[in-house]
Amino acid sequence: MPRGMKIAVNMGGGDAPGLNAVTEAVVLSAYNRNWDVYGIKNSYQGLLDTDEIVHLTPEKVWHIASLGGTILGTTNKGNPFRMPITNMAGETEIRDVSDKVVDNFKRLRFDCLVAVGGDGSLKIAYDFFKKGIPVIGVPKTIDNDLAATVITFGFDTAVGIATEAIDRLHSTARSHERVMVVEVMGRHAGWIALNSGISGAADVILIPEIPFDMKKVCDHIMEGELRGQRYAIVVAAEGAAPAGGRALDKGAGEVGRQDVLLGGVGEYVAREIARCTGKDTRSLVLGHLQRGGSPTTFDRLLSLRFGAAAVRFIAEGKFGSMVALDPPEVKAIPLEQVIGGIKRIPLESDTIQTAREIGICLGD
Ligand code: F6P
């Protein structure tokens, strides 16, 4: 076993419940091998401005597995390969500052980087691997849309929160005989919407995998009305789009952002339902509530397993790979096989079938 390894760990993209558990497991597993771990603050910012590096001793991470958020901070704007920099004239230009990251990484004598992130951040990690940084990736997203791993941590927590929200909407929707439309996260894949919608007994679930037809949605609500069900719950993933249309976004977005900020489908669907059914309709966006707070036991355990596996794979020299759950094992999958691969819900899956068989409309 190599001795005296110096490991850097960072987080990228949106936070997800379980990030602190990953950090805890990385630090403790490394410590038990007599290795040192340093936390890089705010994604790659800590490798550009090295004041933002913190030595993570076991005392700093004991029992943080239950805490939401991340003690290291994260961002979805800090891509060192495309960094927005404001020049002397006050204009923002995009520059590649990745060499500086590599130089600082080497100067500080790090042996490897554990990069925790979603698709965008793992792509950056892979680009650094190609520039000579030994990298182990850890998959993270509440959306659960990353290829190669059966599940990502944060997803179970998000589904639990969304399900509880839907449960609560039933009583108010029933009292007012209203249609309630709830927009949940899920950019490219509808895992949160489908799992929480089925569990929370939604009437309609709209997901990015199935373009929806407003007429079908309205007909379904009116059929319920004829059977005496005078209220309805609609769950829409933020990435769901009408047939022939595109997912709604919030305009140009923020400078340097790695992705487009989606949102607005819930409001759109609510407006259309009110127009075609004449029913009192309200919409709400669950938003970042789905990412906040403590991870569930499932997410905590998965995160701890991923963190420990990352250090195990460092010991085995499996650089350039990502930790992935392939039950019952946690495996190392080459990053190049993972990048850009979105895991959508298979249309023939048992969960989709279940939704249809218990009478949920999927908008088609
Ligand atoms: O990718 C995870 C995610 O939570 C998406 O579901 C959502 O579209 C996005 O992040 C929101 O990003 P932000 O935190 O920047 O608002």
Instruction: Provide CB contacts within 8 A for 112, sequence distance 6+.
Output: 5, 7, 8, 133, 134, 135, 136, 314, 319
- Partners of 140 in the β-ladder: 153
CATH number of the domain located at residue range(s) 157-292 in this protein: 3.40.50.460
| Alpha helices per DSSP H over the chain | 19-31, 58-61, 98-107, 119-130, 155-176, 191-199, 214-226, 265-277, 297-315, 335-338, 350-357
Find out whether the beta carbon of 262 lies less than 6 Å from any atom of ligand 1. Answer: yes
pLDDT digits (tens, 9 = 90+) for 275-322: 999 999 999 999 999 999 999 999 999 999 999 999 999 999 999 999
- Provide the pLDDT for residue 252: 62
Smallest CA separation from ligand 1 atom 15, residue: 14
Share of the chain above pLDDT 70, in %: 98
Nearest CA to ligand 1 atom 7: 185
Distance 226 CA to ligand 1 centre (A): 38
Q: Looking at the annotation, which residues are catalytic?
A: 143
Mean pLDDT over each residue of the chain, to the nearest integer: 95
CA atoms of 306 and 26, how far apart (whole Å)? 9
What pLDDT shows up at residue 346?
97
Distance 14 CA to ligand 1 centre (A): 6
Closest atom of ligand 1 relative to the 262 alpha carbon: 8
Q: What is the pLDDT of residues 54-78, one digit of tens each?
A: 999 999 999 999 999 999 999 988 8
- Is the confidence at residue 255, as pLDDT, over 70? no
352 or 340, which is more confident: 352
- What is the distance in A from the centroid of ligand 1 to the CA of 102? 28
Q: For residues 320 and 129, is the Cβ–Cβ distance under 8 A?
A: yes
Closest C-alpha to ligand 1, atom 16: 261
Instruction: State the distance from the centre of ligand 1 to the C-alpha of 353, rounded, in angstroms.
Output: 28
Binding site membership of 61 for ligand 1 (Cβ less than 6 Å)? no
pLDDT bucket at 157, cuts 50 / 70 / 90: very high
Fold of the domain spanning 6-153+295-337: Rossmann fold (3.40.50)
Helix axes 19-31, 297-315, angle to 10 degrees: 40
The answer, yes or no, to whether any atom of ligand 1 lies below 6 A from the CB of 76, is yes
Q: Where are the domains of the chain?
A: 6-153+295-337, 157-292
Q: Is the CB of 145 under 6 A from ligand 1?
A: no
| Domains 6-153+295-337 and 157-292 in one fold | yes
141 lines ligand 1 (CB under 6 A): yes
Residue range 79-125, pLDDT digits in tens? 999 998 888 888 989 999 999 999 999 999 999 999 999 999 999 99
| Distance from Cα 35 to the centre of ligand 1, integer Å | 34
| pLDDT given for residue 254 in this prediction | 67
Please name the residue that has the structure tokens 């944060």.
154
Is residue 207 predicted with pLDDT exceeding 80? yes
14 Cβ inside 6 Å of ligand 1: yes
> 93: how many CB neighbours lie within 10 A of its CB?
10
Report the C-alpha gap between 41 and 242 in whole angstroms. Answer: 40
Q: Ligand 1, residue 254: give the atom nearest the CA.
A: 15
Beta-bridged to residue 112, according to DSSP, are 7
The answer, yes or no, to whether any atom of ligand 1 lies below 6 A from the CB of 118, is yes
38 Cα: distance to centroid of ligand 1 (angstroms): 26
187 lines ligand 1 (CB under 6 A): yes
pLDDT tens column, 29-51: 999 999 999 999 999 999 999 88
SS3 215: helix
Task: Output the pTM of the full model.
Answer: 0.95
User: Which of 143, 177, 139, 142 lies closest to 16, judged by CA?
Assistant: 142
* CB contact at 8 A, 17 and 294: yes
